[in-house]
Amino acid sequence: MASRFLLLLLLLSLLLIGNCIEEDETTTIKTTMEQFSGYPAADPSQEIHSIPVDSLALQQQIDELSTFSDSAAPSVTRILYSDNDVVARRFIKNLMGRAGLSVREDAVGNIFGRWEGSEPDAPAVSTGSHIDAIPYSGKYDGVVGVLGAIEAINVLNRSGFKPKRSLEVIMFTSEEPTRYGISCLGSRLLAGSVSLAKALTQTVDNANISFLDAAKSAGYAENEDFSSVFLDEKSYSAFVELHIEQGPILENEGISIGIVTAIAAPASIKVGFGGNGGHAGAVLMPQRNDAGLAAAELALAVEKHVLESGSVDTVGTVGILEVHPGAINSIPSRSHIEIDTRDIDEKRRNTVIEKVHESAVSISKRRGVDLLEFKIVNQDPPALSDDSVINAMESAAQLLGLSHKKMISRAYHDSLFMARKAPMGMIFIPCYKGYSHKPEEYASPEDIAKGVKVLALTLAKLSINS
């Protein structure tokens, strides 16, 4: 009888000890989850790791979006407010709605998809990119950051995550300057550009179609007040953009994720020369005032001044060089040249601009042509990623076991302007040979999925902790 009592007492003791251990473990796990996520339902770092990105559906969306194009596959051409742009916008809004986001648009067509958090009055955490595409480009630039952001929301939903700060996906209008010569048009306005808001009411494209008419044809600009687009100073607590690298570093080094620490300072310049036209055979060389050769000489001067900077971070490109009348047997009487120059160092970039201007004046005098125009269209400062966002991105990559490195972005993005309104960061993924702005542009479904998971976990962390 005593032995039975002792056995029962031993079993009861073991059960009590087991319950204490289980309770302690549960408390520890719960505490860890709450430290990370602020709610007891699930630890996002574990749940997101185990919940796959729907890479098949995401790739199908990328492929379908690429069909809304003014050029034939494999290239993509999608110009602001064109018919294909309007259809593509409808496609994005539909995907946002299917992800459970509430959708709104502003006066220029920036599209916002919002997941309301438990603290709806707090500044939201935002992410996104653009879907417009320059002529004959690829289908991943910008698109990965929009469709990938929507899929990141889906991943968080599937994981059971509940945001504190609201999460908002933004599709920015006209990141590319193709139609009206204004890069990052939507995000510039969101950042509060008063000069741009005024200029848009007078802006026309090469076909002499005004911005107002084009915007209205796409269903926007009803009240013609573009200052209504400006963001409130407390709209967002953070902004994160997922993007293909558009360079070869990650692929060459076999690294999954790039953590962007800074975005280079871009500037755009328009230059015009006026000379004397004439018959290509009748006007002798010593008597010519060739506006086309003036433009060609300036293009070479751009290269010279950039190389003289001594830095690999200084770049300059002559992307447009046009002559009038454009006939093989006619001496150009006018020329137009557009220059893009960038640098992570704003002062060094501005020095290049000054030297290009000096060259333009010198060339016009030496060649006997008029310098009709030297206009700096934009001269933007660089943007630095915020330490809080960098830490969140790095933490996400580490939790997911993904290789990563810090790097700068020599291309500029909507993030450059969102940095004026919120702490900013960017996530890069590898792309094939660094190709971009060409049909061969490509990012693998596996690399896109890794970027989406890092984005999802970064958004979760910032939603809870920022």
Number of Cα atoms under 13 Å in the Cβ half of residue 221: 19
Residue 336 pairs in a beta bridge with 272, 322
Contact 88, 200 (CB under 8 A): no
The CATH number assigned to the domain holding 174 equals 3.40.630.10
Residue with tokens 């309104």: 421
Inside any domain, residue 38: no
Residue that is last in its domain, among 350, 379, 408:
379
In this structure, the answer to whether residues 445 and 363 fall within a common structural domain is no
Contact 186, 172 (CB under 8 A): yes
pLDDT per residue as tens digits for the range 356-395: 999 999 999 999 999 999 999 999 999 999 999 999 999 9
Query: What are the structure tokens assigned to 85, written together?
Result: 């742009």
Inside any domain, residue 4: no
Range of 294's domain?
A: 266-379
* pLDDT given for residue 323 in this prediction: 98
Query: What are the structure tokens assigned to 30, written together?
Result: 């719960």
List C-alpha distances in Å: 228 to 6, 190, 194, 233: 80, 9, 11, 14
In this structure, the answer to whether residues 300 and 367 fall within a common structural domain is yes
Q: What is the pTM of this model?
A: 0.85
Inside any domain, residue 28: no
Inside any domain, residue 33: no
Query: What are the structure tokens assigned to 137, written together?
Result: 């480009």
Element (H, E) at 62: helix 55-66
In this structure, the answer to whether residues 245 and 287 fall within a common structural domain is no
The CATH number assigned to the domain holding 323 equals 3.30.70.360
In this structure, the answer to whether residues 300 and 248 fall within a common structural domain is no
Residue that is last in its domain, among 348, 379, 410:
379
Residue 340 pairs in a beta bridge with 268, 317
In this structure, the answer to whether residues 166 and 81 fall within a common structural domain is yes
What sign results for the dihedral spanned by CA atoms 4, 9, 10, 16? positive
* pLDDT given for residue 45 in this prediction: 60
Residue that is last in its domain, among 323, 346, 379:
379
* pLDDT given for residue 44 in this prediction: 59
Under DSSP, is residue 427 helix (H, G, I), strand (E, B) or coil?
strand
Query: What are the structure tokens assigned to 131, written together?
Result: 């879907």
In this structure, the answer to whether residues 168 and 183 fall within a common structural domain is yes
In this structure, the answer to whether residues 133 and 155 fall within a common structural domain is yes
* pLDDT given for residue 31 in this prediction: 32
In this structure, the answer to whether residues 367 and 400 fall within a common structural domain is no
In this structure, the answer to whether residues 315 and 305 fall within a common structural domain is yes
Reduced DSSP (H G I as helix, E B as strand, rest coil) percent helix, strand, coil of the chain, to 5: 45, 25, 35
In this structure, the answer to whether residues 285 and 308 fall within a common structural domain is yes
| Secondary structure letter of residue 232 according to DSSP | P
Inside any domain, residue 69: yes
In this structure, the answer to whether residues 373 and 312 fall within a common structural domain is yes
Inside any domain, residue 3: no
In this structure, the answer to whether residues 161 and 301 fall within a common structural domain is no
Cβ burial 50-82 (10 Å sphere, 16+ → b, else e): ebebbeeebbebbeebbebbbeeeebbbbbbbb
* pLDDT given for residue 51 in this prediction: 80
Residue 402 burial class via C-beta count within 10 angstroms: exposed 0-12, middle 13-18, buried 19 and up = middle
- Extract the residue ranges of the chain whose pLDDT is less than 70: 1-49, 466
Residue in 251, 236, 245, 288 with CA at minimum distance from that of residue 263 = 245
Inside any domain, residue 100: yes
Split into its structural domains, the chain has a count of 2
Inside any domain, residue 118: yes
